[in-house]
Homo-oligomer: A and B are copies of this chain.
Amino acid sequence: MNLLSLRPDGRSPAQMREVRITRHYTKHAEGSVLVEFGHTKVICTASVAERVPEFLRGQNQGWLTAEYGMLPRATHTRSEREAARGKQTGRTQEIQRLIGRALRAAFDLKKLGARTLHIDCDVIQADGGTRTASITGAFVAAYDAVTQLLLTQQIAQLPVIDWVAAVSVGMVQGVPVLDLNYDEDAKCGTDMNVVMTDQEGFVEIQGTAEGAVFSRIEMNQLLDLAQIGIADLIKKQKEALGLGIA
């Protein structure tokens, strides 16, 4: 196979799309980021609320929760507005639960005090990888929000445990490729979303065979690619936060 023609946008198998992280994208939220993975664009905000869910009352500990949505015409054909339909789809719920788990791994909620960080990831344009872009951007928004809590002396220490980013990998025509766009995602055999930290620790792995099962060898190839992508993304997060040199 000619690897040059493998990917519709001419990327090499291990090449990420262009990633852009724009902080302070909207003005009200404590943290607000526009994250772009190629044509995929997600607004990620982090909002601080001075309360915690019922199950954490009186424990002087914080919480982080995430919600995810897509504008109806973020996609090729218009999808029904979930608010009009009256409920979120299973896909939406699955994604927002993933974002929440991924982000909770990055923050020390005990140091947050009795506060909730609300993460909102809203896709304004979709081209594959909306959940991985969401996690990557939301980390930066949350970082900004907790930094502001520190600067205003509402907390004593930055409650950041680790850097967290996410990327998709998949088998396209038998070749492992990094950061699938929509066209690749639609035709790939195996699709895996990987959430990792700066130290190459895994936070979450979700791999799904679509059409054909995958072998242990293929999984290892995919994870190798994912590590490359994650390292690149965390570098981008650090640059965006002005912490790139360290």
Interface residues of A, Cβ cutoff 8 Å to B: 26-29, 32, 39, 41, 43, 45, 47, 49, 67, 69, 71-78, 81-88, 90-94, 96-97, 101, 105, 118, 120, 122, 124-126, 162, 192, 196-197, 199-210, 212-216, 219, 223
A201 close to B215 (CB less than 8 A): yes
Q: In the bound complex, what is the Cα–Cα distance between A41 and B124 (angstroms)?
A: 13
Which residues on B sit within 8 Å (CB–CB) of A162?
A: 213
Q: List 26 A-B contacts (CB under 8 A).
A: A26-B41, A26-B71, A26-B74, A27-B39, A28-B75, A28-B76, A29-B73, A43-B71, A47-B77, A49-B78, A69-B71, A83-B88, A90-B97, A93-B94, A101-B208, A124-B124, A197-B213, A200-B215, A201-B214, A201-B215, A202-B209, A202-B213, A202-B219, A203-B208, A205-B206, A216-B223
B residues in contact with A210, CB < 8 Å: 101
